[in-house]
Amino acid sequence: MSADHHVTLTIPADGAYLSILRTATAGVAARLDFTLDGIEDLRMAVDEACALLLPQSKAESNLHCAFDVGESSLTIAVTAESLSPKPPRRDGFAWTVLTALTTDVDASVDGSSVTLRLTREREGYELP
């Protein structure tokens, strides 16, 4: 997979489908030559992001996940539709976990949805 690709995945906002998202995350990260630890960190980060989003997602809605593949990084944006969307607390344990597993974490609210954006730089990558 070369730089600057965009992959999207939509799954039901139900914990039973999160394994699909974790598997897709691992697959995209593996194609970018992330280390095994980097791949596992991203899988856990996506899982944690979904754990933050699912409780506020609308019944029978979807989670939308966008993978933005850069030259040296992978950005994953997970979006949930919500009746009253709010970004997660930045002083909570879950946010601490996300910041430990990724290079950058951001949360935003747009209308009736909340998005968590996770970025991880590829280890050992040097710009040409």
Expressed as residue numbers, the domain containing 92 is: 5-121
Residue 77 tokens read as 């944006």
Q: Determine the Cα–Cα distance for residues 73 and 34; give it in Å rounded to an integer.
A: 9
Q: Give the domain CATH number at 43.
A: 3.30.565.10
Does residue 80 belong to any structural domain of this protein? yes
The rounded percent of the chain whose pLDDT value lies above 70 is 94
Does residue 126 fall inside a structural domain? no
Instruction: Tell me if 128 is assigned to some domain.
Output: no
Tell me the average pLDDT across 61-73: 93
DSSP 3-state percent helix, strand, coil across the chain (nearest 5): 35, 30, 30
Top-confidence range, 1-5, 31-35, 89-93, 105-109 = 105-109
Looking at residue 128, its pLDDT comes to 47
Q: Is residue 127 part of a domain?
A: no
Q: Are strands 73-81 and 104-110 parallel, antiparallel or unpaired?
A: unpaired
Confidence of residue 5 (pLDDT cuts 50, 70, 90): confident
Q: How confident is the model at residue 126 (pLDDT cuts 50, 70, 90)?
A: low
Per-residue burial over 23-36, b if 16 or more Cβ lie within 10 Å, else e, is ebbbebbeebebee
Would the pLDDT of 125 be above 50? yes
Structural domains in the chain (count): 1
Model confidence at 3, pLDDT cuts 50, 70, 90, reads: low
Please determine, for residue 127, whether its predicted confidence score (pLDDT) is greater than 60: no
pLDDT for the residue numbered 72: 86
Question: What is the C-alpha to C-alpha distance for residues 94 and 74, in angstroms, rounded to an integer?
Answer: 20
